[in-house]
Amino acid sequence: MGGDIIQKIDNREVTKIEDIMAYVKSQKHVGDKVNLTIFRDNSIKELDLILGQMPSQLLNDFSNRPTSQSAMSPEELYEECVSVAGKSFCDFLFKK
Protein backbone atom coordinates (compact mmCIF):
# COMPACT_ATOMS: atom_id res chain seq x y z
CA MET A 1 0.00 0.00 0.00
CA GLY A 2 1.36 3.44 -0.87
CA GLY A 3 0.73 6.89 0.51
CA ASP A 4 -0.40 8.19 3.86
CA ILE A 5 -3.28 6.80 5.90
CA ILE A 6 -5.23 9.48 7.73
CA GLN A 7 -6.21 8.11 11.12
CA LYS A 8 -7.53 11.20 12.90
CA ILE A 9 -8.53 14.79 12.26
CA ASP A 10 -8.39 17.04 15.33
CA ASN A 11 -8.10 13.91 17.48
CA ARG A 12 -11.33 12.40 16.02
CA GLU A 13 -10.93 8.94 14.52
CA VAL A 14 -11.76 8.57 10.84
CA THR A 15 -12.24 5.49 8.69
CA LYS A 16 -13.22 7.01 5.35
CA ILE A 17 -13.04 10.30 3.44
CA GLU A 18 -16.70 11.02 4.23
CA ASP A 19 -15.79 11.22 7.95
CA ILE A 20 -13.27 13.95 7.16
CA MET A 21 -15.60 15.81 4.79
CA ALA A 22 -18.49 15.77 7.29
CA TYR A 23 -16.30 17.05 10.11
CA VAL A 24 -14.74 19.82 8.05
CA LYS A 25 -18.11 20.88 6.62
CA SER A 26 -19.83 21.04 10.02
CA GLN A 27 -17.01 22.27 12.27
CA LYS A 28 -14.42 24.18 10.24
CA HIS A 29 -14.05 27.18 7.95
CA VAL A 30 -11.55 28.34 5.36
CA GLY A 31 -8.40 29.47 7.16
CA ASP A 32 -8.95 27.22 10.19
CA LYS A 33 -6.15 24.94 11.33
CA VAL A 34 -6.69 21.18 11.47
CA ASN A 35 -4.43 18.56 12.97
CA LEU A 36 -4.08 15.29 11.08
CA THR A 37 -2.71 12.11 12.59
CA ILE A 38 -1.33 10.00 9.77
CA PHE A 39 0.43 6.70 9.33
CA ARG A 40 3.45 7.09 7.05
CA ASP A 41 6.54 4.94 6.56
CA ASN A 42 5.59 2.62 9.45
CA SER A 43 5.21 5.44 11.97
CA ILE A 44 2.55 7.80 13.28
CA LYS A 45 3.02 11.49 12.46
CA GLU A 46 1.02 14.61 13.29
CA LEU A 47 0.58 17.50 10.87
CA ASP A 48 -1.00 20.91 11.30
CA LEU A 49 -2.64 22.22 8.12
CA ILE A 50 -4.59 25.35 7.18
CA LEU A 51 -7.82 24.72 5.27
CA GLY A 52 -8.25 26.31 1.87
CA GLN A 53 -11.39 26.96 -0.17
CA MET A 54 -13.01 23.96 -1.85
CA PRO A 55 -14.75 24.87 -5.11
CA SER A 56 -18.49 24.31 -4.57
CA GLN A 57 -18.97 22.76 -8.02
CA LEU A 58 -16.33 20.13 -7.32
CA LEU A 59 -17.89 19.37 -3.94
CA ASN A 60 -21.29 18.95 -5.63
CA ASP A 61 -19.77 16.73 -8.32
CA PHE A 62 -18.12 14.55 -5.66
CA SER A 63 -21.29 14.29 -3.55
CA ASN A 64 -23.57 13.48 -6.50
CA ARG A 65 -21.30 11.01 -8.29
CA PRO A 66 -22.89 7.55 -8.59
CA THR A 67 -20.95 4.85 -6.75
CA SER A 68 -20.11 3.05 -9.99
CA GLN A 69 -18.29 6.19 -11.16
CA SER A 70 -16.49 6.92 -7.90
CA ALA A 71 -13.54 4.62 -8.58
CA MET A 72 -10.71 6.74 -9.91
CA SER A 73 -7.16 5.90 -10.86
CA PRO A 74 -4.42 7.22 -8.57
CA GLU A 75 -3.48 9.79 -11.21
CA GLU A 76 -7.10 10.99 -11.51
CA LEU A 77 -7.30 11.29 -7.71
CA TYR A 78 -4.06 13.27 -7.69
CA GLU A 79 -5.27 15.64 -10.43
CA GLU A 80 -8.59 16.20 -8.62
CA CYS A 81 -6.72 16.81 -5.37
CA VAL A 82 -4.50 19.42 -7.07
CA SER A 83 -7.54 21.22 -8.47
CA VAL A 84 -9.08 21.39 -4.99
CA ALA A 85 -6.24 21.69 -2.51
CA GLY A 86 -3.22 22.80 -4.51
CA LYS A 87 -0.14 21.06 -5.82
CA SER A 88 2.08 21.28 -2.74
CA PHE A 89 -0.51 19.73 -0.42
CA CYS A 90 -1.31 16.94 -2.90
CA ASP A 91 2.38 16.27 -3.59
CA PHE A 92 2.70 15.83 0.16
CA LEU A 93 -0.33 13.51 0.40
CA PHE A 94 0.65 11.47 -2.65
CA LYS A 95 4.35 11.50 -1.74
CA LYS A 96 5.47 13.00 -5.06
Residue-level pLDDT, tens digit, the chain, 96 residues: 467 889 999 999 998 888 888 898 899 998 999 999 999 888 999 999 998 877 664 555 555 555 444 566 778 887 878 777 777 777 777 777
Superfamily of domain covering 1-53 = PDZ domain (2.30.42.10)
How many other β-carbons are positioned within 10 Å of the β-carbon of residue 20? 17
Question: Which residue ranges does the chain devote to CATH 2.30.42.10?
Answer: 1-53
pTM for this prediction:
0.55
Strands 43-50 and 33-40: antiparallel
